[in-house]
A and B are shown apart, each in its own frame.
Chain A
């Protein structure tokens, strides 16, 4: 059984804001409520949920950016709020909306500083950069100022920067936000390879279902700071799927797309009532993952 590298137990985080002009009262917002889960070494977990569900707050709690109100967590055996420095050496973090690269300076300068921050000798950092730049196709960006990079190029450099110290756990908060199709593909392929070849554990939050499908094996859905669902991507598709799409190809080449709910109607009865004359081919498909997740967001409580 692989070792559990992320262990979260009853994690709770509340934010307070004051209300009123004269008699001020504190308004409490619970961003994360008694969240518990674990992730094994080498596993890729998709951490999903609608906006404001508490995904980013959880990532920030686990990476020592925020202190919890209560609860415990162990990341690679370390308490994130007591061992910030040691933890920083073991984890890599990418926030889609944040940059760790220096805007006016060439990419190489930021990498040189990161190498010093992580105490990596320059020749080792160079070697690692070469490795990463080949995989992420960013070799020619080395001397380019960050301000001249496109969003996709910058994001690939961000990923390389967060892997420079070879972390065993990678936290990615919406890494594909705003990227074009090709940039997304390169990133997903890279992350998949990183997990399978180097055994890097990945915790990824994203609103893009393809990120989840292509990179992760497991999905953890949270809403209002509470865990709603924890299952494998495969089971998500089969267990939470009653709707089927049927594509019928007619002899004249036209196609018809029909759908039915297996909870309400059996496949046999559906086929019986469908006019199959003139049909040369038939395909039964599951709905795309996006549809399943949308259904879970809307009726999330039903799956708790």
Chain B
């Protein structure tokens, strides 16, 4: 059974990428400009760190690793799970989710994987390069970085599922989903060290952006085992909780009658 699902999802991702490459010029332009956009953001922070050297104990290298992890995590979502989040929120709001419910594969992952955005390749390249040049990824830390990366991807997916599920519980919430995503990206974009005390507690619990932007750098810098265990447990709870929330909400789905074409 699982084998069949993998086969389907492999083909689905391949197709959504093929669809995104159907408009070739747009594909390459978006990829290139995403790299340019990431570099412009980085130059701004480089100038800032040239003046202050560290921000609450974080150096430019720490920030580079955090940005690299954020951007590459984001790229995985954009490339393979872009249907989740804003797209799915729109489908639910407009009652355009029927097709996924009529097809045998897992509804949540089917809807998530059916959109791929070419800009993700630009982010992926930038993100991996940033992590590699940050100096925090060495032969000894490679294994732990890989685990941190997987956790970050799962946290990101979970947050996208939760923000999507809002649309089952509240009407016309697709715009809210989009706004919350912006808030999420905004918080992720700053060095994690600026969030202290209660702000940090909130960001690693109720609004778990810190699991992607704060904890991984701290774990890697200080090699804190307790933080690592917390991250693993929090990721698991968040991921399973988001799936549960989505399927509970799915029972409230109201189909619509708009004319729809896929892609």
Are A116 and B11 neighbours in the complex by a CB distance under 8 Å? yes
Interface: A88 (CB within 8 A): yes
Are A102 and B260 neighbours in the complex by a CB distance under 8 Å? no
Stretch at the interface among B32-40, B59-67, B158-166, B250-258: B250-258
Within 8 A of B (CB), among A61-101: 63-67, 84-85, 88-89, 93, 95, 97-101
Interface: A290 (CB within 8 A): no
Residues in A with CB closer than 8 Å to B96 are 98
Are B263 and A66 neighbours in the complex by a CB distance under 8 Å? no
Are A117 and B19 neighbours in the complex by a CB distance under 8 Å? no
Are A64 and B102 neighbours in the complex by a CB distance under 8 Å? yes
Report how many residues on chain A are interfacial, defined by Cβ distance under 8 Å.
Answer: 36
A 86-130 to B, binary, CB cutoff 8 A, 1 in contact else 0: 001100010101111111110001101100111100000000000
Are A105 and B7 neighbours in the complex by a CB distance under 8 Å? no
CA distance A15 to B253 in the complex (A): 10
Are A103 and B263 neighbours in the complex by a CB distance under 8 Å? yes
Interface: B206 (CB within 8 A): no
Interface: A191 (CB within 8 A): no
Are B12 and A113 neighbours in the complex by a CB distance under 8 Å? yes
Within 8 A of B (CB), among A121-148: 145-147
CA distance A221 to B103 in the complex (A): 28
B 1-27 to A, binary, CB cutoff 8 A, 1 in contact else 0: 000100110011001001100110000
Are A99 and B15 neighbours in the complex by a CB distance under 8 Å? no
Nearest Cβ in chain A — how far from B2, in angstroms? 12
Given contacts A109-B18, A113-B11, A117-B103, whether A99 and B98 have CB atoms under 8 Å apart is no
Interface: B57 (CB within 8 A): no
Q: Which residue of A lies closest to B96 (CB)?
A: A98
Are B258 and A97 neighbours in the complex by a CB distance under 8 Å? yes
Given contacts A65-B101, A88-B102, A93-B102, whether A60 and B263 have CB atoms under 8 Å apart is no
Are B263 and A98 neighbours in the complex by a CB distance under 8 Å? no
CA distance A85 to B108 in the complex (A): 13
Interface centre among A63, A104, A110, A147 (most CB of B within 10 A): A104
Residues in B with CB closer than 8 Å to A95 are 98
Are B11 and A105 neighbours in the complex by a CB distance under 8 Å? no
Interface residues of A (CB under 8 A from B): 15, 17-18, 56, 60, 63-67, 84-85, 88-89, 93, 95, 97-105, 109-110, 112-113, 116-119, 145-147
